[in-house]
Chains A and B, each alone.
Chain A
């Protein structure tokens, strides 16, 4: 009888780009049963999931809209992870940025956009930095596990948002738990008229390009990567490991804060409780799909934007529960991540 053995050997680079396609096929097979159960035709469902979003201009733009915050949270997570600071708090840092944007939007009445928008960006970045400061400081000074602290702070800031929206910031006009509409001078302009695609998309791409330059071309980036891949060796080479981790954690928080600014200033114009609903966590998935390569964040975030859009279109078109779209989305992500791991193994006959 033939015997088989599993061994490690990395796949060629083109495999990375093939994986999403293979994942779609596998996901189709796995989730078909559920779709039939819900009384829909699987083939039709998949048309609305993957093909329909790509075939109209409106939904193509919508993919870019959905991927805008993911580009930033993905970039944020990639930056921190590169220095092995496991920042699970992009969600909270995004919300901190959004809160700052809402507040600035309230106080900057009557300023022109040329002043308002830069202040929004700087303010949101600083808010994200501040929300990342405590876990980063605890990590480098006392070796407190940053996974725990960043994750727990995500819940803390949700309660803070809830407090402000039900108290001092409650919209005086509508009475809803949302902040007042931000000043017009602080709103991001649209890239395409009558669409939701806003200036934040440009910011996101710019941030990613800068991040790529820092990580691959600057000495600070090389230090970060050295710390991320071998703390001992980095220390031996004379790198201040603590400071490098601290700085990369704070910048990561700042980038996530920018994502929050984009959601408030580009989409909602209010702060709402559901401002993020998982954008920070999805940033971790984006960073993982990107293999912690800043440039890889772009296709990964677009892919996530596609399946987000697809999940909505399938439930709308076929009248299946919205949860079915979410199940397909989650399955697809699991399969994709699984394939990224499995691509490094070969089964060989002994």
Chain B
């Protein structure tokens, strides 16, 4: 915190500290846990919860790899295997990758924007509770022995009531709608916060590149998630109410399901990939010690990817017999999307080229990411070549491809981000030695596991098979893939160990251990509840590099400028700005801790339980609870906004 001419006296300073503490204090213990609307607590919660799901999904994978380590194995029967591969996909996409990135976004956006919380703090809490409850909802399927088993994309008619009469697929269909609420609502928060809560001087082209990536991601969510909501809602309608959307015998279409699902499904992988690229574009410049090369190119590429990603979904349907020339169009667009990714790649190379790289663990993960993404991107271009896809679609080649991009090119940046930002979150550094060990184990294990799968695809091995015959040349490669998988898992466990141990024994981080440039490093580690006692004023893209001591805004008498300085921090307020150049517009009261988001989320969960159990009374209770809590939530709106 910078000094000004009017520095208060020592006793006045203590008084300010006390008043700040009082203004921002949350209840202790479980009450505070259940009612907090602090974006940092919510963000960290997202990350921890998502990592729990990551390890569960990882264990599911390792069990499958044990079954597949040899031909004709009897570790698992087909029923169990089918549930495992379905839940593995669901977990990794819906319950790990998507929320963990939202968690980092939640934690970092207000800090990087130089403000005190997100635009809708209670909505933020709500979106976390929905995520948690939807994950519990879907995993409770294991408790009743009926986990979804239709594959993570659950094609009809296999998943129709006729062919999947059990409740398994209802956990899927309802669960997908359930978790979609969290993603959508989170996206609303990201967009409005990025536009309305930037600090003075942070014009749109001075926003951190990570914010750009979260913005692009959020817009993709807004336009893509309704499609999967529809896909699963219509499926559930067919299953629970006997409608005929997907029934060919009644004029419906199984392909309609695929179109609806993949219209979301393809943007979804970019919803995951774009924030990961934003993280890499943040971390590499810090450790190369020079600004990101071609910031405008990179920002434009992120937006270009967001747009183009909506035009390629049919490549998931290349083998369904659609008209060839229509498919060729989608193949072309799929090739096109490699260009903005290539631009970002060159940017990273150029950034490092004239920089001097420091090899910290986050930087290692970024380099690992780069090579893995290079390969995954290349195979992505390959499968976009329509005739080639006709050979490798649904084979292990595609399994290899999407693990390279969704595991390697998303998970490696996430681990890098963990090593980079956890010190800010907890105030303690992670062990570099353990970090390096973890990285190399993960990198080697990853490639040993997934590279052979490309070859398995060429050798004709289908995906989603619980076993295979010997004598096809698949045995050795499968064994290798299984060994690699365990090695990769070990590598991730080393990071878990690192996180746990460093919590107690890690070196204190200080405000800016990496000598980074963005605003989150201008405050303490961990930051106080209010982030900044006075809102920083920026004059460049790299505030901490370009200004040895950051300028700060003072509170003015006018309503719109009250929240900028100490007054705002003392009264639990944060400024709202307007326009591309962040002019002061009004002041927002940050809501106090409240049970309402949790109550609305619980009501929503009860609604879904009612649908699952086909019990109208239960659903009605859920509706009532959610509605009442919502009314209470909105009741004081006018008083809250000044």
A and B bound? Answer: no
